Chain A
């Protein structure tokens, strides 16, 4: 019926534009929530969800209780759902939509499928219509006939769907979230809301996770905490670590830092009725012997790095790693500390003639323009002004000529730089450079201050 016809019958009929994007987001939110039953949840767009409850049903006292619980909780949230449990993905989808929803006992999916219409097989409308003109309307019509003519007429797709629904071909579901290598969960009859309780639960779950990780000889590098709010919202917090971790107390500490910064973004509302801790990424972790002269504290440093990372973001805790370039600003990179773990400890010791260092200890993010007076255009500076202060030059070392890397044109700056180490009459030591070779690259070379020496 068109809108015009409907409005003719009910003049006050409210009309809302379809918003498939919002529908999809809503379906994903429900999928998130369904995570409480099994980690394997897949979307059956646009209006269905697959839950692989293999091995999970007994946790809820069987499939029937699980289905009842699911329906009851969804109804509480104002949703209506048709739930079918069957041996196959295709079968469950068909029975939930076209058959009588409920539990199909093991091995009876085939029988339950046969009387259903062909549309239940998740095939396109064109195929359904074409089959209907041939007088084929039910699944049984297809299943009882020779396959070759169908394959010739409709291709492999139709028969594949049939086989999947009847269980002759295996159909895996694609879970929408990564499945943890190890996980532990805790349900609460009465929702918990206090941060201390959540953290206590984390430590408790961590203790359950450790034996699993130990058996595999692994430690976690990425942990995820899923907090299922009583009203259906799910918060997921992740923490990364620099080294494989198997210590529940440290897991708790890391999540404590994470929660401390999230603050309002992680509102417990009426409380959480389920908490799950999973190790998403694991790595081999061998026990190590501590030194005789006391422990070497490497582990403690790793924990500090993780804690700072959990609070401020892993990218903010960095190590300085030398790069293979002579351009000063690219000569060192800040690499996140958790990734720089394997960078060699031994630093190059650079020997030099002069008593002072040839590189500043602080480098400005952007070279700052300075006004420089020099006796000749390509000579050393005798006076410079920086941030409205003028300094007389007492000593100069230079120039150190640094040409740009012509083979990396994309960086844009191509002018040669002449660097000078300059000491002012007050003793301040700075790193100045003149951009552009006078007469060849630039008629009026500009000066910049790039770094501060000690």
Chain B
């Protein structure tokens, strides 16, 4: 490498120090998305980029939780500037609703980061996802399939995995999330498969509903053991936290707090 090359490299490293979110990565360096310590341990450091991950809600009503978990992962992959492609079919949007802008804004990743694509056939979802994964300008691709997502069979998921591996670059991560609306036993080449249910949230200081809390079951993991964890998403900090159960007894939600005030007063 000549003198100019060295200088340029040096400058790039300096820039990376100033702005880590936009830092170029060296070839071969693997990017991982961190969750909580126990999960990262099971995953071998974190959720791998350059791979395909499957998310499945444990029940139809939990589609919100599954989407929320996917969005939280996408928010971490996207950082401050990354773009996310969300592909869905018209039928899927009719069944479970479409991603809602104001809600996304409040969940950690502003809706301006999203590129939405709505297609008519499930096969087109796979095509668009593959294109998106190969594109070096996207941080994450989320695709949705209704039912079991039968079109995403072993061959299709292998294709997507290869595309994700190809797509890994300096800024993007070839990070693919496939949301199947219903649990399936179909074999898949995805790196992990998560079954997601929501968990009761910890009420906030004002008695309102607290942070989104997920009950995650890691059903399939190419790199390590499976497991089950309850974590919550802090959208202000854009980080997962282990859900801490404060106190031994469940909070007395059914009892009015007026009584205790009378007693102490």
Contacts and interface: CB of A to CB of B under 8 A. Distances in A.
A and B interact:
yes
A398 B117 CA distance: 33
A347 B67 contact: no
Interface stretch (B38-46, B104-112, B216-224): B104-112
Interface residues of B, number: 78
Contacts of B119: 312, 316
Contact of B212 (A304, A320, A429): A429
A300 B137 CA distance: 6
A283 B61 CA distance: 48
A292 B59 CA distance: 48
B235 interface: yes
A167 to B, nearest CB: 56
A328 to B, nearest CB: 8
Contact of B103 (A308, A334, A349, A359): A359
B201 interface: yes
B15 A293 contact: yes
Interface string A301-345: 100110110011000111111100000100110100100000101
A355 B210 contact: yes
Contact of B115 (A305, A357, A397): A305
Contacts of B209: 354, 356, 395, 397, 421, 423, 429
Nearest to A453: B64
B60 A387 contact: yes
A352 B209 CA distance: 13
B136 interface: yes
B253 A395 contact: yes
Q: Is the interface of A mostly helix, strand, loop or mixed?
A: mixed
B61 A294 contact: no
Contacts of A427: 65, 197-201, 213, 215
Interface stretch (B92-100, B158-166, B183-191): B92-100
Interface in B144-175: 170-172
B111 A301 contact: no
Contacts of A308: 117, 128, 131
Given A300-B137, A356-B209, A427-B197, A361 B116 contact: no
B116 A454 contact: no
A354 B118 contact: no
Contact of A320 (B15, B106, B116): B116
Among A292, A294, A353, A452, find the residue whose CB has the most chain B CB atoms closer than 10 A. A452
B97 A304 contact: no
A307 B135 CA distance: 11
Given A294-B170, A356-B201, A428-B198, A317 B115 contact: yes
A358 B201 contact: no
B112 A359 contact: no
Interface of A: 292-294, 297-298, 300-301, 304-305, 307-308, 311-312, 316-322, 328, 331-332, 334, 337, 343, 345-350, 352-365, 386-387, 389, 391, 394-395, 397, 421, 423-430, 451-454
Interface of B: 8, 11-12, 15-16, 19, 22-24, 59-65, 67-69, 71-72, 83, 85, 93-94, 96-107, 110-112, 114-119, 124, 127-128, 131-132, 135-138, 170-172, 197-201, 203-204, 206, 208-215, 233-235, 253
Given A293-B24, A427-B201, 5 more contacts: A318-B116, A320-B112, A331-B101, A355-B208, A355-B234
In the A-B complex, the 7 residue pairs with the closest CB atoms: A454-B68, A452-B64, A332-B101, A347-B110, A427-B198, A357-B106, A297-B137
